[in-house]
Amino acid sequence: NAHPRLKEIIPSLVRHLHDFAREVKLTVGEWEAAVEFLNECGKMSNDRRNETQLLCDILGLESLVDDITSKLLASSASETPSAILGPFYRHNAPLLPNGSSIIQDLDPSVPWYTQAVADSAHVTGRVLSSSGEPIKGAIVDVWHAAPNGLYEQQDEAQPDMNFRGRFMTDAEGRYSFYALRPVSYPIPDDGPSGRLLKLLDRHPYRPGHIHFIVSAPGFRTLTTQLYDDRDHYVTNDAVFAVKDELIVKFVPKEGDPKALWLLEYDFVLGRK
Ligand code: DHB
Ligand code: FE
């Protein structure tokens, strides 16, 4: 029982691999080093760290397949573009009322307190269908890194589920929460992928971003990221995931004791 899709993919992979090896005149020693490198990535990978995925990411492969997949499925150009999930998503973030904060430990004793206050942000907008109707009862699942560049599960000092939350849109399709303007940070670079980046004179930074998974019954789930336009790395992402439509502007917010910045963004979902 042959597998039709594999019978299409593998001969093409072989053709491109052979062309590649001929083009760079790959030697036995170099091929052996590559096999050893892949073995090392596999050995290092577990539930908390996926080094093989990270390798694909710094080669731009996860972003490319994400883009190919979303273009295959999209039925309208108005749909919000997708972006990669990344390795730090957690299921079951707290379901919070609109208008609440995903910051659990903004307390003057944390070393980055001053920066966090300066970056406090109200994030709000609507979830819409591609014909522009508000979607009520959509779930907006968000997560971002702390100002020290670490996601909560990478950092013992942060409370469980810090900077994570889920919000349900109201009758106008609106979601609303308080968070921080995200900062740039290095992808985990203490393994073989990080070593490769250094050998290539490449940096490991991703531009500051907020992750979103937006879902609603009858619509295709959207996994995406929004990038802060102030960030230097927005044009130089280590994993090539930035798309122009996902670069956003935080504007100063007046009269809100909980936030100095406002980000308004509408997500557009495609029907299933
Ligand atoms: C990667 C993606 C992320 O969103 C992130 O926060 C860290 C790493 C990645 O593609 O490897
Ligand atoms: Fe991320």
Contact 125, 265 (CB under 8 A): yes
**Range from 152-156, 191-195, 218-222 carrying the lowest mean pLDDT:** 152-156
pLDDT score of 46: 87
Which runs of E-coded beta strand occur in the chain? Answer: 100-101, 120-129, 139-143, 164-168, 174-180, 185-186, 205-206, 209-215, 222-228, 247-248, 251-252, 261-264, 267-269
The structure tokens 């939350």 sit at 165
Surrounding residues of ion ligand 2, Cβ less than 5 A: 86
Q: How far is Cα 178 from Cα 167, in angstroms, rounded to an integer?
A: 11
57 CB less than 6 Å from ligand 1? yes
87 CB less than 6 Å from ligand 1? yes
Q: How far is Cα 223 from Cα 243, in angstroms, rounded to an integer?
A: 13
pLDDT, tens only, 39-54? 999 999 987 789 999 9
206 CB less than 6 Å from ligand 1? yes
Q: Is 36 left (phi over 0), alpha (psi -120 to 50) or beta?
A: alpha
Backbone angles phi, psi at 93, to 5 degrees: -60, 155
Listed residue (188, 85, 191) closest to 143, CA to CA: 85
pLDDT score of 110: 81
Cα 20 to ligand 1 centroid, rounded to whole Å: 27
Listed residue (131, 226, 201, 216) closest to 169, CA to CA: 216
**Range from 31-40, 157-166, 200-209, 211-220 carrying the lowest mean pLDDT:** 157-166
Best residue for ligand 1 mutational test, from 66, 148, 155, 187 (most atoms within 8 Å of Cβ): 187
Q: Whose CA is nearest to atom 6 of ligand 1?
A: 86
What is the interface pTM, i.e. ipTM, of the complex?
0.94
β 205-206/120-129 pair status: unpaired
Is residue 105's pLDDT more than 80?
Answer: no
- Residue 37 CA to chain centroid, in angstroms? 25
pTM above 0.90, yes or no: yes
pLDDT, tens only, 109-163? 888 888 888 999 999 999 999 999 999 999 999 999 999 999 998 888 889 999 9
Mean pLDDT of the chain: 95
